[in-house]
Structures are given as structure tokens and as C-alpha cells.
Structure 1
Amino acid sequence: MSNVWWVPVIAGISFFLTKLLRHYALVQRLVDVPNARSSHVVPTPRGGGVAIVLAFLLAVALLFATGVISLGVFAAYIGAGGMIAVIGFMDDHGHIAARWRLLGHFAAASWGLFWLGGLPVITVSGFDFDLGWVGDILAVFYLVWMLNLYNFMDGIDGIASVEAICVCLGICLLYWISDMPELIWLPLFMAASVIGFLWWNFPPARIFMGDAGSGFLGGVLGLLSLHAAWTKPQMLWAWVILLGVFIVDATFTLLRRLFRGDKVYEAHRSHAYQFASRKVGSHKPVTLAVGMINLCWLFPVALLVSKFELDGLVGVVVAYAPLVFLAFKYRAGELEIDQG
């Protein structure tokens, strides 16, 4: 069977696994009860992101078995992704101290980066930079930040799922346009894995992703971006552009809270998307707006970078400028006062 026929199969597996996980969460009372730091108002089971993990790792195994990906690529995603998911699963079931979670995240990032071959050459303003071991260290921090920011941004119904689907399908189209079909399969299967879950997570959500799913998505998307840069350095910039909504909101919010002296590891609801959802009184318009920003703004800029030789750094600045404006407009990182 051609691998393309496995795309709807993987989506279906994710769908049915999410249904089973929802039943499991209800039986085990793994339910998020609304509190002062929540963006939801109805008790909702969590941990459904495990379905994304299992479906995608099954697809990775399939691609390896059919010779589409190498042993190193297989080991990177299975090892790093699996480690991140296990840490998140344990945290979903019982709190793990932040320092131990962070240690596990660095271990997973280092494992994945090792098997991918380290940080590839970075192209800036037409110049290639091989940063060596310094670049590898920076890449590990990038991966750890990616998996944590994705966890931070999974705060309203459907937003993390819609972001992952838009980014993955967008990059697949860029790969096809740029004559890089060999790279399409992994993000395509990731999109399929998330689509199966989204049916249960779209506003109003019947199950939440949980740390196992959100951290896994962030970590794997980070690995996919570095993986692509080994084939074409400009693709790293395309990934960073496509992930702009999450990168800008999470980074802007973290920096503002850090400068104010907040305990940044404590739960809060001061991201721009959270303020926006409270302003409009619903999660759905904000989640759909994220999808439209990806489709109508970030994808065209990423296309200019990946296909039409727009400098990557310039592309990031152009793409992020309105996102920074939105972060200001929707009070990213401000104190949670008069939020109603």
C-alpha cells in the first residue's frame, strides 16, 4: 500500500484513540476543574494528546519500515518524542517538579538533535554560518523553548491543534513547491494525527490535549524545522515564520512577566490569546483567527522566503511585526486585572 493511503488511517486511529482516552480520563477522574487561572468554565477531561503521540509515532515506524526515513531520523523522533510524551503523561497524572521536567526536556532535545546530526548551517543575509558546538547548544535551548511554549499556548479550546495543522500543512505545500517531496511525509502524518484529535478538541472541547500532547507537538515541530534545514537552510526560517503566532505570544508574555519579577513557572492566563478570548467571550473566534493568520499572512511570507529568495531574517521581521502589534493590543503578559 502506498504511504499516502495511511494518512486517513492515521487520522482515524487518532480519532478513535482520543475517544478511548476520553473514557479513560473520565473513569480515572483526570479532569481539569475550572479555577481562577483557567480559560474554561466546564470541567473537562485531559490527556487526549496521547492519541496524537501514538498515531504519529506509529506513522514514523511505518515510514522507517518502508525505507522513507533513515535510522537516525527514526531514532530522533521516536526517542525524543517518546521521552517528551512520557514526561508530560506523568505530569498529567501527578505533578513533577519543574526542575526534573526541565532536565528531561533537555535530555530529549539533546537526543533528538544528536540523531539529526546537530544544528545545520544557518543562512543569514546570504551568508552561511556553521556555529559548531555553540550552535548545537543553542539548538537544544531552541527545542526546549519550543516544547514549553507550545505547552503555554495550549490554553483555549482547539488553538494548539489548529496551529499544528496549519503549520504542518503549510510546510508540506512549501516542500512541494520547492521540490522537496521527500520531506513532506513527517509533517503530513503529524497533521493527520492532530486532525483526528481536533474533532474532540474543537470548541467547545470535549477533551484537552494535556502536557503529553502539547509538549510533544512543540518538541517534534522544533525537530522538523531543524530536520528541514539540513536539506535547505532557508526552510528553517520558513518554519519559524509559520510558527510565529505561538512564538511571538509566548515569548512576549514570558519576557514581560520576567521583567516584572513574576514567578514565570506559575500558572497564569495572561497570554494575548487568553485576553482576546475573554474579550470576545468565546474560544472559537480566537482559534479560527489563529488559523486565518497562518493562512492569509504567515504562509505567503514563508513562501517568499522558501521559494522566492526573500532573506529569511527579513521575512521573520516582516511576518512578526503585526504579531507584535497584536501582542501589545491584547495585553500579552500584563497583570490579570479587570479581565472581564
Structure 2
Amino acid sequence: MMLWLFLSIIAIVSFALTWILRKYAIARSLIDVPNARSSHTIPTPRGGGVAIVLGFLAATAAMYWMSLLPLNQTVAFLGAGTLVAILGFLDDHGHIAARWRLLGHFLAAFWALYWIGGLAPVSILQMKIDLGLFGYLVAAMFLVWMLNLYNFMDGIDGLASVEAVTVCVGMAFLYGVQGNAEVAGPLLLASAVAGFLCWNFPPARIFMGDAGSGFLGIVLGMFALQAAWVSSELFFAWLILLGVFIVDATVTLIRRLLRGDKVYEAHRSHAYQFASRHYGRHLPVTLASGVLNIAWLLPVAFLVVYGKLDGLLGLLVAYVPLVLLALKFRAGDVEVR
């Protein structure tokens, strides 16, 4: 009962902070004005994701104070999450060169990995793979890709918020049925995002901004790496539930690389962007992503967690239809103006 009260308080605080941040953004002219690379048509305040950051980090500190969260996880979230959020906040207010952002992202990743313990040995097809020290580099690349792909995927109203809420609630369900104590972290993040989502749901009255999207990406990646120390099945479950974002961003990046595009330049060639233009609205695409997470990816993840399906095979079962769907909606295709 205390957990649910705490979650409600976090959601309310996040909602109120988003309202304050919206007024701040309007007063400081922090407005996303539509341009040729935008997926929106109305000038909209940005930077509301700071509410998610403050809500979740405050909840994390409170959980540690109540002896409900270990020190290593608390320090990992506070350190890595704060650094990524500050970089995003500064970029929202001006511009930070890509090389400095990337350096900051890797510093945040290695800070998190130091406290998490790196990449745990992972069981694949009944074989245990232990990368040792090399696993730190692999895990750092994973975290940096997660925080950047989440930024890439935060391009239409409510999409990044709905993704975070449905993935976290789905994993909390899997943890809860298994009786795992890790259930609190994902629920805290889902509550912080839910408060913001009230303002971000289509049609959005404020955007998340880089501070919020990068923060969500690295925290979700940290959740996945922490889960790997509990069981390989839970690690694969996180990857499966994050499939909509991972597949769209990765397929888009690969196709643009193969075509020789400058991948660091802004574009509108993700599958979700083509889909939103096809339907003429953001809402159907945002809702579809949530439905895919709950109706398709969660059942596959459930089968993996409860030993009915090998983790790698479950990942393939989950991802193949997503790849086909991404290609159907032209992920990474040339934009026709």
C-alpha cells in the first residue's frame, strides 16, 4: 500500500513540475518551431522531461533513505542520470558540439557500469557467455546507443512517454509475478513519466526535450543491465519489450549508413515518422506502439522469463515482425519532399 501511495505522489509531483516547466519554457522562448525536419506543425514548448528526471531521482534518493534501494544502484542512477540530463538540458537551451555530448554520454555510461558491475555473464542457447573486461565496452556502447536512440525516437507526441510507461509496467508485471524485488525501480520511472504524459499526450502541450529523452534511454538501459545480474531471461525480456524503439532506430541507422547519409544530421526517416505522416496524425502511431508492447512483446517476454522460450530465440521471434513492420513504413528510406 505504501508503494502505491509513493507512486501516486511521484506522478502528481511530475505533473505539477511539468506545468511549471511549461510556463518557464514559454517565458524563456524555449519553443520548438516547426521546420522541414519536424514532425509537428504547431510551435510547442520543450524541456518538460526535466520533470521526469527530478521526479525519478528524488524517488530514488527517498528509496535509498528508506533502505529500499541499495547504495550501488542509487549512486549509479543519480550520477549517470544527472550527467545525461544536464547535457540534454544545456543542449535544449543552446547547442553542445556532438563530440562533447558523446564524451559526456560515455562518461555517464562508465560511471553507471562501475556501480552496476559491468555486463553480467549471459546465457544464450544454454551456453554462458562471459565477456569479462571487454563486456564493459560492450555495455557502454549499449548504454550510449540506448540514450541516443531514445532521443531519435522522441519525435512525435507521446511516443517516448508511452514507450517508457508500457515497457516499465510490463517489466514490473514480470518482476512481480516472479516475486523479484526489482519491481520498484521500473514502477517509479513509469509514475514519473505518467505525470509528464498528461501534458505530452497527443496533441502535446510540451515536448520532452533532450534532457528527458536521453535520461530515459540510459535509465532503461541500466535497468536491463541490472536485470542481467539477476537472470539472463530478465535481460532478454527488457530487450524484447524495448523492441519497437530498438528496431526502428537501428534499422533506420543501418539503411542510412549503407546509403552514405550523414547520420549525425537531423532527419525524418524513422518508420514512426513515415507512419505519422501517412496517417496524418500522431495519435494512431503512439497508441499502436503501446499496443505492440502489451499485446505482442510482453507475451513473448513472459515466455522467455518463465523458461518456455530461449532468450535469443525469443528476441528473434519478437524482432522479426518489428523489422518487417519498420521496412513496411520505410524506416531509413529517402525522404520525398
Residue 79 of structure 1 is matched in structure 2 by: 79
Residue 12 of structure 1 is matched in structure 2 by: 12
Deviating more after overlay: 283-292 vs 113-122: 113-122
Residue 187 of structure 1 is matched in structure 2 by: 186
Where 2:211 maps in the other structure, the secondary structure is helix
Structure 2 regions of 5+ residues with no counterpart?
none
- The separation in 2 between residues aligned to 1:16 and 1:165, in whole angstroms, is 18
TM-score (norm 1): 0.98
Q: Is the 8 A contact 2:232 2:311 kept in 1?
A: no
How many aligned residue pairs are there? Answer: 337
Residue 50 of structure 1 is matched in structure 2 by: 50
Compute the displacement of 1:309 (Å). Answer: 3.7
TM-score (norm 2): 0.99
> Do residues 291 (structure 1) and 306 (structure 2) align?
no
Where 1:184 maps in the other structure, the secondary structure is helix
Structure 1 residues 188-227: Cα deviation after superposition (integer angstroms, max 9, x where no partner) = 0000000000000000000000000000000000000111
Segments ≥4 residues shifted beyond 6 Å: none
Compute the displacement of 1:66 (Å). Answer: 0.8
- The separation in 1 between residues aligned to 2:38 and 2:4, in whole angstroms, is 39
Structure 1 residues 128-178: Cα deviation after superposition (integer angstroms, max 9, x where no partner) = 121101111100000000000000000000000000000000000000112
- The separation in 1 between residues aligned to 2:116 and 2:159, in whole angstroms, is 29
Q: Is the 8 A contact 1:177 1:307 kept in 2?
A: no
Write the letter of the residue equivalent to 2:167: V
- The separation in 2 between residues aligned to 1:3 and 1:300, in whole angstroms, is 26
Q: Is the 8 A contact 2:143 2:222 kept in 1?
A: yes
- The separation in 2 between residues aligned to 1:127 and 1:325, in whole angstroms, is 29
Compute the displacement of 1:4 (Å). Answer: 3.1
Root-mean-square deviation (CA, aligned residues, Å) is: 0.9
Q: Is the 8 A contact 1:15 1:199 kept in 2?
A: yes
> Do residues 327 (structure 1) and 332 (structure 2) align?
no
Compute the displacement of 1:310 (Å). Answer: 1.0
Q: Percent identity of the aligned residues?
A: 61
Write the letter of the residue equivalent to 1:210: G
Aligned pairs for 1:258-337 within 5 A: 258-337=257-336
Residue 41 of structure 2 is matched in structure 1 by: 41
Aligned pairs for 1:94-105 within 5 A: 94-105=94-105
Structure 1 regions of 5+ residues with no counterpart?
none
Q: Is the 8 A contact 1:59 1:189 kept in 2?
A: yes
Aligned pairs for 1:19-38 within 5 A: 19-38=19-38
Deviating more after overlay: 193-202 vs 113-122: 113-122
Where 2:133 maps in the other structure, the secondary structure is helix
Residue 146 of structure 1 is matched in structure 2 by: 146
Write the letter of the residue equivalent to 2:115: W
- The separation in 1 between residues aligned to 2:259 and 2:284, in whole angstroms, is 30
